[in-house]
Amino acid sequence: MGVSEPSGTPVVGEVPAVDVRDLAMRYGDVTAVDGLTLTVAPHTVTSILGPNGAGKTTTIETCEGFRSPHAGSVRVLGLDPVADAHLLRPRVGVMLQSGGAWSGARSREMLQHIASLHAHPLDVDLLIERLDMGSYGTTPYRRLSGGQQQRLSLAMAIVGRPELLFLDEPTAGLDPAARRSTWELIAELRSSGVTIVLTTHFMDEAEALSDQVHIVDGGRVIASGTPQMLAASGSENTVRFTASPGLDVVDLMRALPHDTKVDEVTPGAYVVAGAVDPQLLATLATWCASQGVLTESLLVERQTLEDRFLELTGKALR
Amino acid sequence: MSPAPTRLDLSPRPGAAPRAAMLRAQTAMELRLQTRNAEQVLITMVIPLVLLVLGSQATAVVDLGPGRTIDIITPGILALAVLSTSFTSLAIATGFERRYGIIKRLGASPLPRWGLMFGKIGAVVAIEVVQLTVLSCVGLALGWQPHGGFTAVLQMLALIVLGTAAFGSLGLLIAGTLRAEATLAVANLVYVLLLVGGGLLVPLSRYPEAARHVLELLPSGALGQGLRDSFAGNGPSAFATVVLLIWTVCASLLVSRTFKWE
């Protein structure tokens, strides 16, 4: 399961923070979630990654106790999110995908209100400062920009000092600077011992933040693992290089490991596809030297999580 | 803790605030938002006040029947105030709370469902106390002479509790089933219709007989007439009290079955 650095105090055999088994959810005839299974280890960041309509929000809202599973089971901190809602609500922070504030409430007032429902909330003014919300503390919610609403929503999720956080698309609509600072905050929450589950359709976000990624499509998990594992488990990576036209690609293939393919795609432009590692690059360089060939450019293309996602789902993320 | 770049300690320390503190915070928040909202203030304070002042001079326009005009109009205005707060204002506010995900947001907080409900009841009661105080004082200043003494005041309180329960349940019934825009339209339309012809302001005896039999069965007719009878020193009829009770029971049962929090 999740690669977890011992920044919190993960104990072997600890109850998973979230344990979803064979979850099915239907809206009328539409099946939104179809046999989804995933677990979240405590003190980790887990991303649920998928295109629109994949069932991300339905899954996360079932974990938040807003819906009862039609089939399968959901346990959050070892409890039933619907039956034990009163026990979970103080312990779980929730960031909704949109809305969640009175249109006439001022941002600081709204945050203060949520804080006042908790026993040991964060200091509201410090949190406002940390999230750079000071300039719109007295602005009514309806006049906030989308990004400002997102920040307030995130602030409301963490102000009660939860041990588990559900963030539904935490950086949707944020500018790059705000997005970066949200990432930093999520990393800091994690190192402070908070377990975080987030949905996103930003690949780089999942890659940068997560210990564990679950790729969801059509209401089920189609791949799980660390971002590195997922990216690496796909088909081969490639090396592109240019050199003089008409090299003997068959001879080159003979020199390289045996499932490696080489093509001259246009005269002088070559593509090497296979398990690209330093050894392969060294062999390639040696072969070129033995042929008296100077490679003019050489580019290694590592497959990203995004490529892997496309490969798995046949869909672009956005 | 590890060296933190800020003074914020983000380490988990979960817990719900004490129930009384949550309820206080929720009621205060609802109250602040209501009093800040111009339309809500218009419908709960300005319109009843204007109608009270104009109504005290109404004889030239409508024949309210035997008795001093101000003595007839003031109890009706009190009934209108109850309608505006417990029905129209509550329905609209709740409808938009559903629409904007506030009920969902609060549903994810430690505030329990009953806390949400009691916060609303607390806000409605607080606004009604202000309305009744202001409107009664203005009525008295305009020459209102309530009869029935302390008994009439107790009867008024009982009728207002019942009326608030009946109208409040009806308001939540609309807000919990219709879309926010539809709730807004229906709540305002019902307000205007009942204001004009619901037996709130004009004594039921002034309506044609057929209309009277219908209006007696409406919560507005029952509340308006009950308050007028109380302050005439006669006490509310058992019929009016039963009508309000039946509306309350039926509407609250329906609410508990149909209300959707999001």
Same structural domain for residues A175 and A298?
no
Domain assignment of residue A98, yes or no: no
Confidence at residue A15, expressed as pLDDT on a 0 to 100 scale: 86
Confidence at residue A232, expressed as pLDDT on a 0 to 100 scale: 67
Domain that holds residue A243: 237-302
Domain assignment of residue A156, yes or no: no
B15/A192 CB distance under 8 A: no
Domain assignment of residue B61, yes or no: yes
B191-196 long-range contacts (CB < 8 A, ≥24 apart) are: B191/B43, B191/B83, B191/B84, B191/B87, B191/B88, B194/B83, B194/B218, B194/B220, B195/B51, B195/B80, B195/B83
Same structural domain for residues A169 and A85?
yes
Domain assignment of residue B14, yes or no: no
Confidence at B224, pLDDT banded by 50, 70, 90: very high
Q: Give me the half-sphere count of Cα atoms (radius 13 Å) on the Cβ side of residue A62.
A: 27
Out of B8, B18, B22, the one facing A126 most closely (by C-beta) is B8
Same structural domain for residues A187 and A79?
yes
* A189 shares contact with chain B (CB less than 8 Å): yes
User: pLDDT tens across A100-151, in order?
Assistant: 999 999 999 999 999 999 999 999 999 999 999 999 999 999 999 999 999 9
Domain assignment of residue B225, yes or no: yes
Same structural domain for residues A181 and A87?
yes
Domain assignment of residue B241, yes or no: yes
A118/B110 CB distance under 8 A: yes
A123/B33 CB distance under 8 A: no
* A101 shares contact with chain B (CB less than 8 Å): yes
* A127 shares contact with chain B (CB less than 8 Å): yes
Same structural domain for residues A184 and A211?
yes
B6/A192 CB distance under 8 A: no
Confidence at residue A9, expressed as pLDDT on a 0 to 100 scale: 45
Same structural domain for residues A166 and A228?
yes
Confidence at A29, pLDDT banded by 50, 70, 90: confident
**Selected residue of A118, A138, A158 to mutate for chain B interface (largest B Cβ count, 10 A):** A118
B13/A120 CB distance under 8 A: yes
Which of A178, A208, A232 finishes a domain? A232
Domain assignment of residue A312, yes or no: no
Same structural domain for residues A222 and A280?
no
Q: Distance, in angstroms, between A45 CA and closest chain B CA?
A: 15
Which carries the bigger pLDDT value, residue A236 or residue A54?
A54
Domain assignment of residue A132, yes or no: no
Q: Distance, in angstroms, between A22 CA and closest chain B CA?
A: 24
Same structural domain for residues A189 and A217?
yes
Domain assignment of residue A40, yes or no: yes
Tokens (6 digits) for B189: 């339309």
Candidate from A129-138, A271-280, A286-295 with smallest mean pLDDT: A271-280
Same structural domain for residues A183 and A242?
no
Domain assignment of residue B13, yes or no: no
B12/A192 CB distance under 8 A: yes
Domain assignment of residue B242, yes or no: yes
Cβ contacts of B34 on chain A, cutoff 8 Å: none
User: pLDDT tens across B174-222, in order?
Assistant: 999 999 999 999 999 999 999 988 999 889 988 999 999 999 999 999 9
Mean pLDDT of chain B: 92
Cβ atoms of B170 and B219 within 8 Å: the answer is: yes
Q: Distance, in angstroms, between A159 CA and closest chain B CA?
A: 9
Mean pLDDT of chain A: 88
Which of A192, A215, A232 finishes a domain? A232
Same structural domain for residues A243 and A221?
no
Asked whether the whole model's pTM tops 0.90, one would answer no
Domain assignment of residue A175, yes or no: yes
- Backbone φ and ψ for A309, nearest 5 degrees, come out as -65, -45
Average pLDDT value for residue range A224-247: 79
Cβ atoms of A200 and A35 within 8 Å: the answer is: no
Same structural domain for residues A228 and A250?
no
Domain assignment of residue B11, yes or no: no
Q: Is the pLDDT of residue B2 over 70?
A: no
Confidence at B3, pLDDT banded by 50, 70, 90: very low
Confidence at B72, pLDDT banded by 50, 70, 90: very high
Share of chain B above pLDDT 70, in %: 95
Which carries the bigger pLDDT value, residue A296 or residue B101?
B101
- Bridge-based pairing of strands A237-242 and A297-301 is antiparallel
Domain that holds residue B69: 19-258
DSSP annotation of A211 reads S
B12/A162 CB distance under 8 A: yes
Q: Is the pLDDT of residue A178 over 80?
A: yes
Share of chain A above pLDDT 90, in %: 58
Query: Which CATH number belongs to the domain containing residue A280 in this structure?
Result: 3.30.70
Confidence at residue A4, expressed as pLDDT on a 0 to 100 scale: 39
Give me the residue label for tokens 């020193």: B233
Cβ burial, residue B149 (10 Å; 0-12/13-18/19+) = exposed
| Nearest-angstrom CA–CA distance, B70 and A160 | 53
Which carries the bigger pLDDT value, residue A273 or residue A211?
A211
Domain assignment of residue A292, yes or no: yes
A263-272 long-range contacts (CB < 8 A, ≥24 apart) are: A268/A242, A268/A243, A268/A244, A269/A240, A269/A241, A269/A242, A270/A240, A270/A241, A270/A242, A270/A243, A271/A238, A271/A239, A271/A240, A272/A238, A272/A239, A272/A240, A272/A241
**Selected residue of A159, A192, A194 to mutate for chain B interface (largest B Cβ count, 10 A):** A192
Domain assignment of residue A188, yes or no: yes
* A96 shares contact with chain B (CB less than 8 Å): yes
Which carries the bigger pLDDT value, residue B64 or residue B257?
B257
Same structural domain for residues A79 and A27?
yes
Out of A65, A104, A189, the one facing B10 most closely (by C-beta) is A189
- CA-wise closest residue to A110 among A146, A129, A137, A135: A137
Q: How many domains does chain B have?
A: 1
Query: Which CATH number belongs to the domain containing residue A51 in this structure?
Result: 3.40.50.300
- In this prediction the ipTM stands at 0.89
A117/B16 CB distance under 8 A: yes
| Nearest-angstrom CA–CA distance, B250 and B217 | 13
Q: How many domains does chain A have?
A: 2
A192/B9 CB distance under 8 A: yes
Domain assignment of residue B12, yes or no: no
Cβ atoms of A171 and A199 within 8 Å: the answer is: no
Cβ contacts of B31 on chain A, cutoff 8 Å: none
